[in-house]
Amino acid sequence: MIKKDLLLTPGPTTVPAKILLSMAEPLFHHRTPQYQKLFSEVCEGLKFVFRTKHDVLTLTSSGTGAMESAMVNLLSAGDQVIVVDAGKFGERFGDIGKAFGIQCDIIKIPYGKAVDPQVVGDKLKSGNYKAVFTTLCETSTGVVHDIQGLAKVVCNSSAVLICDAISGLGADRLEMDEWGVDVVVSGSQKGLMLPPGLAFIALNDKAWKLTETSELPKFYYNLAQYKKALKKGDTPWTPATTLVVGLNEALKTMHAEGYDEVIDRHARLAESTRAAMTAIGLELFAERPSNAVTSIKVPTGIDGVKLVKVIRDELGITLAGGQGDMKGQIFRFGHLGYCSEYDLVSGVAAVEQVLDRLGYKFKLGDGLTAFQKVIRSRQKLSV
């Protein structure tokens, strides 16, 4: 039996072979005109995906580092902020804040639910808040928050809105400038179709203004240094050059496809996955589902950990299970970045196969049929 590995997790995601091979080219030095040209192309490409005219800074780091950089560059110890915590990654902003002596007022949202922007708006009026931290797509639950709505309520205050778009960028629509999102953070191993190792942060003028009063200590993540180096087409510390080479390829691909087209493709994949799962009687977990990841409740009587493990170890297809408290309670399809309908058909087929073996009652093929119908109605072909 041929077992082909297929990655359907919400990051890391599959990297196109062309990009993998571009990163296998011989190394060159980063303090050269050759690198500066490459890096300036990358910076322009990032602005396109971040939907901003502001600089997008590239950090050699995982996404968590970019989240930390937002905290330590905008705030001082003792500052009061609001953190929207609707899952593992919202929770992380709270943990970072705690480590740096920030007074984080947590708006705790039950797993699977989205935040109501009005709740944040009301909370903002109750204190002297400098910032609101939220996620675009909460990867751990598959929920996409209403960032446009949040930006509306935050922009009327003196606070800045920081959005962790690590898994959402390039999958769920996020219009940084148009919506007035002050800070956007992301990472390489999601919608950008790259390996992990790079992280990104963009700040608008309101956010840069706030950095001027920040007193938290910082060095590696001192964004003023990145902004200064960018003027010379550079980074302050040695960048992960091979990943930057791959990033340029990825950004060119996205630019050629078009932003609306990229988002619509993700919407179509998410919709078809949801249709497949509900057609076999499964329940979706996220009340406001993301285009990046689909979370499905494990049906009663089925071992959710085993489901994911058998699909991975015996069929070669890696889905994500639940994290933390959600372990065994949900499983998740990642369908972001370099993911096609035909990757997802395999994933849906595998879920059907293993659920059937585990004794879950449904009609084999119903998920795939529902999947096909959505694709039929949503995909543009010449015939």
Q: Which residues bind a copy of itself (CB under 8 A)?
A: 5, 7, 9, 11-15, 17, 20-21, 23-30, 32, 60-65, 68, 77, 95-96, 99-101, 187, 189, 195-197, 216-222, 236-243, 312, 318, 320
Residue number, 117 or 195, with CB nearest to a copy of itself:
195
- Of the pair 24, 364, the CB lying nearest a copy of itself is at 24
The CB-of-26 to a copy of itself minimum distance in angstroms stands at 6
In the complex, the smallest distance separating the C-beta of residue 15 from a copy of itself, rounded to whole angstroms, is 6
Provide, rounded to whole angstroms, the least separation between the CB of residue 169 and a copy of itself: 15
CB atoms within 10 A of CB 255: 14
**Min separation Cβ 43 and a copy of itself, Å:** 18
| Half-sphere exposure of residue 248: CA atoms within 13 angstroms, side-chain side | 17
User: In the complex with a copy of itself, which residue's Cβ is closer, 95 or 303?
Assistant: 95
Closest separation in Å from C-beta 146 to a copy of itself: 26
Of 331 and 360, which has the nearer Cβ to a copy of itself? 331
Spatial distance between the Cα atoms of 245 and 353, rounded to a whole number of angstroms: 40
- By C-alpha distance, which of 82, 84, 136, 133 is closest to 110? 84
Give the 3-state secondary structure of 314-334. HHCEECEECCHHHCCCEEEEE
CB of 136 to a copy of itself, least distance (A): 17
- Our CB check for a copy of itself shows the closer of 89 and 285 to be 89
Nearer to a copy of itself, 133 or 360 (CB): 133
Judged by beta carbon, residue 204 or residue 241, the one nearer a copy of itself is 241
Question: 333 burial class (0-12, 13-18, 19+ CB within 10 angstroms)?
Answer: buried
- Which residue, 7 or 131, has its beta carbon nearer to a copy of itself? 7
CB 378 within 8 A of CB 271: yes
Minimum CB–partner distance for residue 183 and a copy of itself (Å): 17
| 27 or 381: CB nearest a copy of itself | 27
C-beta of 121 vs 196, nearer to a copy of itself:
196
